[in-house]
Amino acid sequence: MLKSLSSLNSLPIPRISTSSRICLSKMSTAKPSPVCPKFISVEGDDIYSRSKPDGVRFSLVSYNILAQVYVKSSVFPHSPSPCRKWKARSEAILTVLKNLGTDFLCLQELDEYDSFYKKNIESYGYSSIYIQRSGQKRDGCGIFYKPDCADLLLEERIEYNDLVDAIQDDSILHDDKHGDTQANGDENSEAKNGSSSKSTLKDSGDPNDPRVRLKRDCVGIMAAFRLKDTFHHVIVANTHIYW
């Protein structure tokens, strides 16, 4: 991860026109500054694989690259307009990813996969697997890996929306069992209440309800790899969860 810090300094800075400079000079100083993440080194004896000379070694980076559809001036008022443009951002992101030189790349908010990122990142020696978010969402999650480092054995795509029905069915089953313990229960009344409960759960917007939290069109992807140098197996999981 420390290697990624040095690559951030090499980001290409888009050329700003005179009109853009004038516009930037008029920006209010009262606008909020960007929140800079604090990186913490994981180097140390507490990392078991690093302390063993014969340990399994590979590099992996997880990176939320921010889908272009979410790049809005209202959300990023501190960012100059030229830096929010697709051409400048996409080229800068590619430069960072290439300079990382990692064995595995787990990318979130990955949009324009087929039209841009797949062919460009694979030109750096990667292969990839991808899942797009459910519904009309344009972004998703991708795992890029170097075939000279690992062989892909299995992959599994996960759509969290599909888990809603499983939780709902389990809840209804629990309600049915509870109803069976009540004496002199009316079957027609129980059926009516069960239908009403199911409808209420479906239409509920309670954020404490796990069914509501899952219905966010979120996805995940898991993949099993065999490392070529050591023939060890590793499972890489990538997801982006929005509540």
Interval 35-50: pLDDT, tens: 677 777 766 656 555 5
75 and 100 together in one domain = yes
Domain of 167, in residue numbers: 163-212
CA-CA distance, 44 to 47, in Å (whole number)? 6
106 and 204 together in one domain = no
At residue 204, the pLDDT reads 52
How many helices (H) and strands (E) the chain has is answered by: 9, 7
At residue 210, the pLDDT reads 74
* 160-164 average pLDDT score: 85
Q: Give the side-chain half-sphere CA count within 13 A for 121.
A: 32
For residue 215, what pLDDT band results from cuts at 50, 70 and 90?
A: confident
Q: Positive or negative, the Cα torsion across 60, 116, 86, 109?
A: negative
202 and 91 together in one domain = no
89 and 133 together in one domain = yes
115 and 203 together in one domain = no
* 224-236 average pLDDT score: 93
For residue 227, what pLDDT band results from cuts at 50, 70 and 90?
A: very high
Angle formed at CA 13 by CA 106 and CA 27, multiple of 5 degrees: 110
Higher-confidence position of 216 and 9 = 216
Give SS3 for 57. Answer: coil
At residue 197, the pLDDT reads 43
Please tell me the pTM assigned to this model: 0.67
Each residue's pLDDT tens digit, 54-90: 678 899 999 999 999 999 999 999 889 999 999 999 9
Burial of 105 (0-12, 13-18, 19+ CB in 10 A): buried
Q: What is the DSSP letter of 26?
A: T
**Structural contact between residues 7 and 59, judged by C-beta atoms closer than 8 angstroms:** no
> Among 4, 11, 9, which residue's Cα sits nearest to residue 91?
11
Residue 234 phi, psi (nearest 5): -140, 140
At residue 64, the pLDDT reads 96
Report the number of distinct structural domains present in the chain.
2
CB count within 10 Å of CB 110 equals 31
> Among 160, 161, 138, 4, which residue's Cα sits nearest to residue 71?
138
105 and 184 together in one domain = no
41 and 135 together in one domain = yes
73 and 187 together in one domain = no
149 and 39 together in one domain = yes
For residue 134, what pLDDT band results from cuts at 50, 70 and 90?
A: confident
105 and 181 together in one domain = no
Each residue's pLDDT tens digit, 165-196: 877 665 544 555 555 545 444 555 444 454 44
135 and 186 together in one domain = no
Angle formed at CA 200 by CA 194 and CA 203, multiple of 5 degrees: 145
Higher-confidence position of 8 and 136 = 136
Any idea what the CATH number is for the domain that residue 26 is in? 3.60.10.10
Question: Hey, what are 26's tokens?
Answer: 């008029």
173 and 86 together in one domain = no
203 pLDDT above the threshold of 70: no
